[in-house]
Amino acid sequence: MKYNDINFNEKTILITGGAGFIGSNLAFYFQENYPEANVIVLDCFRSEETFSNGNLKSFGHFKNLLGFSGTVISGNINDKELLKNLEENYKFDYIFHQAAISDTTVSEQDMMIKTNVNAYEDLLKIAIKHKANMIYASSAATYGDSDVFEVGYEKPNNVYGFSKVMMDNITKKYLKKDLDISIVGLKYFNVYGQREFYKNKTASMVVQFGHQILKGLTPKLFEGSDKILRDFIYIQDVIQANIKACKPKKSGIYNVGTGKARSFEDIVNILQKELNIDNGKEYIKNPYIGQYQFFTQANIKSSEENLGYKPNYSLEDGIKAYIEDIKRLYEEEVKW
Ligand SMILES: NC(=O)c1ccc[n+]([C@@H]2O[C@H](COP(=O)([O-])OP(=O)(O)OC[C@H]3O[C@@H](n4cnc5c(N)ncnc54)[C@H](O)[C@@H]3O)[C@@H](O)[C@H]2O)c1
């Protein structure tokens, strides 16, 4: 599906973090809709290395790119030599910057700031030199303890959310200059959908509950789950936002959500209905009270006005579109 009239064929497109969840979906979006586009995926891929929270340092996985026919570069966005080579050997038309430490529970502040903040500015400088429009991933985690989900009301409560606020601040600083390019930051809310599985424990609760239900387990919800509400957004709507962000009415920072908060209980109910399995539900005490977001809901007015973004998928529609893949993953990756 084409979301606007830009012809990306013959264009050179850099996708950082292209072996991850959102980046790989973007790579396939171009491959399927603009087969003559020159798509370059840059990702450091995964190794065995972990952070102190026990999770992998990076989640990029070759399986997200099975069938991809563009260029794949394994490299680290913190590597200045690599960035210099990219700057000299390519002429990008668009940069989709998705690479980041995406795990919100990582506590290594040094690596988080270096990777998420400093490398972004380096890539932005390449975008400006190449006259490439920059579209980068910010996050709803920037809102943290805020109860207003509009740009300008950020209140991050972890270093991940802070790093994304710093990216947005860099953007604001550059937008004051007279630039030839557009820069759009997209504050994704809770994204779910195809190719998130290799994020392991940091994948959405949609796929995690889906696999628990298929295993015959009773999904465990926090007490009061019907009142824990989040804005869950399906991957196809995130792709739509990225494509529309290539031609914004106005550069800036925009929310990407459905605009409707839904509960974790809703997720379980929809999954059990779509899977035609009823394992009931179990309620457990919430150990995170005090450090847990109980409500997020994107205000998408300015995204609608300035990007022409309009979500197509309700939570029901998104889970329906995703369910066959949840079952396939269960058969191929989980069951054994
Ligand atoms: N998925 C969500 O719900 C969500 C919500 C808000 C924001 N975001 C942001 O969207 C972007 C994409 O997230 P995702 O869900 O696809 O996560 P992901 O972890 O699947 O993708 C990030 C990719 O970046 C790569 N990467 C990490 N460090 C790197 C480095 N130093 N050099 C090169 N590559 C590196 C990883 O290998 C991974 O493939 C991230 O910036 C993330 O912070 C995601």
Question: 201 is written with which tokens?
Answer: 């424990």
**Which one, of 96, 101, 65, lies nearest residue 195 by Cα?**
65
Residue 72 has pLDDT above 80, yes or no: yes
Taking the C-alpha atoms of residue 140 and residue 258, their distance in angstroms, rounded to an integer, is 12
Predicted structure pTM score: 0.98
pLDDT in tens, 280-300: 999 999 887 766 778 999 999
User: Does pLDDT of 91 surpass 70?
Assistant: yes
Q: Which of 37-41, 199-203, 222-226 shows the lowest per-residue confidence on average (mean pLDDT)?
A: 222-226
Q: Which residues contact 275 (CB under 8 A, 6 or more apart)?
A: 210, 213, 214, 323, 327
pLDDT at 105: 93
The alpha carbon of 273 and the centre of ligand 1 are apart by a number of angstroms equal to: 31
138: phi then psi, degrees, rounded to nearest 5: -100, -155
Q: Residue 255: phi, psi to the nearest 5?
A: -80, 145
* pLDDT for the residue numbered 291: 66
254 is catalytic: no
Q: Is 78 in the pocket of ligand 1 (CB under 6 A)?
A: yes
Q: Does 94 participate in catalysis according to the annotation? A: no
Q: Is 119 exposed, middle or buried (CB count within 10 Å of its CB: 0-12, 13-18, 19+)? A: buried
Ligand 1 contact, 186 CB (< 6 A):
no
Residue 230 CA to ligand 1 center (angstroms) comes to 20
Q: What percent of the chain has pLDDT over 90?
A: 95
Q: Cα–Cα distance between 332 and 251 in angstroms, integer? A: 42
With the most atoms of ligand 1 within 8 angstroms of its CB, the residue from 14, 16, 22, 158 to mutate is: 22
Of these residues, 199, 244, 313, 322, which one is catalytic? 199
Residue 239, ligand 1, Cβ within 6 A: no
Residues 249, 194: Cα–Cα separation, whole Å: 30
Other Cβ atoms closer than 10 A to 257: 27
Environment class of 70 (CB within 10 Å of its CB; exposed 0-12, middle 13-18, buried 19+): middle
